[in-house]
């Protein structure tokens, strides 16, 4: 396995890896990060309509540190909400009447930043140098107004390029489980709710 980029596409909600699909595992094992066209990367979040996923909630993290510390890449990118196309294929599969899909894509500027970072890391690798890196997608700072939404499922689907369909990467993420919130822990639960 290539030491240069340890590809870990993860949802940083604690125990999310337990919800990774077999298709998601296969897609990520066969995923060539250096072949990725960041401008074509799409992330879809399927949630209850009452759970609002907005600009700034989905974060892409890309990092690389060379063994000799001559190259250091640390990018945090915030994809924009882009509801510009019809919901079809894997996105529409199993969509319930109470659910919605929110699509995210990188801005042209962020896509260019990610492309340049990937090119730097690839050039480093092609010259026989070594390092470690990661690529991750996280959901952050989601809040909601109804306690029932703690038990609502969140699904994450990914489209690597415009010629690919979306594939289910993580499914049935449960906020109560993922935040490790116990019903008796009122203080922790309150932090998840939006301010009125």
Is the model more confident about 183 or about 86? 86
Is residue 87 situated within a structural domain?
A: yes
Is residue 190 situated within a structural domain?
A: no
**Region 99-108 average pLDDT:** 92
Number of domains forming the structure of the chain? 1
Is residue 7 situated within a structural domain?
A: no
Is residue 4 situated within a structural domain?
A: no
For residue range 2-50, what is the model confidence (pLDDT) as tens digits? Answer: 333 333 333 333 334 456 667 777 777 787 888 889 999 999 988 888 7
**Region 69-81 average pLDDT:** 92
**What does pLDDT average to over the chain?**
75
pLDDT value of residue 144: 61
Is residue 193 situated within a structural domain?
A: no
Instruction: Write out the residue range of the structural domain in which residue 178 sits.
Output: 16-185
Q: Which of 7, 146, 137 is nearest to 64 (CA)?
A: 7
């Amino acid at each position: 396995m290539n030491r240069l980029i340890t590809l870990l596409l993860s949802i940083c909600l604690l125990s999310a890896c337990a919800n990774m699909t077999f298709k998601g595992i296969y897609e990520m094992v066969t995923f060539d990060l250096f072949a990725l066209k960041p401008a074509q990367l799409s992330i879809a979040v399927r949630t209850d309509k009452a759970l609002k996923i907005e600009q700034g909630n989905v974060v892409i993290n890309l990092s690389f540190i060379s063994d000799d510390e001559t190259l250091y890449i640390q990018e945090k990118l915030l994809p924009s909400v882009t509801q510009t196309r019809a919901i079809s294929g894997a996105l529409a599969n199993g969509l319930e009447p109470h659910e919605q899909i929110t699509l995210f894509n990188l801005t042209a500027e962020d896509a260019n930043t990610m492309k340049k970072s990937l090119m730097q890391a690839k050039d480093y690798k092609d010259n026989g140098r070594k390092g470690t890196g990661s690529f991750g997608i996280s959901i952050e700072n989601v809040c909601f107004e109804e306690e029932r939404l703690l038990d609502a499922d969140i699904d994450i689907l990914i489209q690597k390029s415009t010629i690919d369909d979306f594939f289910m990467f993580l499914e049935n993420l449960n906020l109560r489980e993922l935040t490790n919130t116990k019903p008796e822990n009122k203080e922790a639960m309150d932090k998840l709710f939006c301010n009125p």
